[in-house]
A = this chain, B = another copy of it.
Amino acid sequence: MPRPSQIDAQRKRLLPIVCQVFSELGYRRTTTAELARRCHVRENILYRLWRDKRAMFLAAIDDIFQSRVDRWNQILAKRPTPRQAVEAMVAYEAKHQGEFGFYRVVFTALVEADDPEIRKAITTMYQRFHTRIQDMIETNRELDQKTPGISSDATAWAIIGLATVSNIIRELKLLRPRQREEMFARTAQYLIQGDSR
Contact = CB atoms under 8 A, between A and B. Distances in A.
Interface stretch (A36-44, A78-86, A162-170): A162-170
A148 B108 contact: no
A48 to B, nearest CB: 27
A47 to B, nearest CB: 22
Nearest to A28: B28
Interface string A85-107: 00000000000000000011001
Secondary structure of the A contact surface, majority rule? helix
Interface of A: 25-26, 28-29, 103-104, 107-108, 110-111, 113, 119, 122-123, 126-127, 130, 148-151, 153-155, 157-158, 160-166, 168-169, 171-172, 174, 183, 186-187, 190-191, 195-196
A25 to B, nearest CB: 8
25 contacts: A25-B111, A26-B111, A29-B111, A104-B111, A107-B107, A108-B108, A110-B168, A113-B171, A123-B172, A123-B174, A126-B168, A126-B174, A127-B174, A148-B190, A149-B186, A149-B195, A150-B187, A150-B196, A154-B183, A155-B187, A157-B165, A161-B162, A161-B163, A161-B164, A162-B162
A172 B119 contact: yes
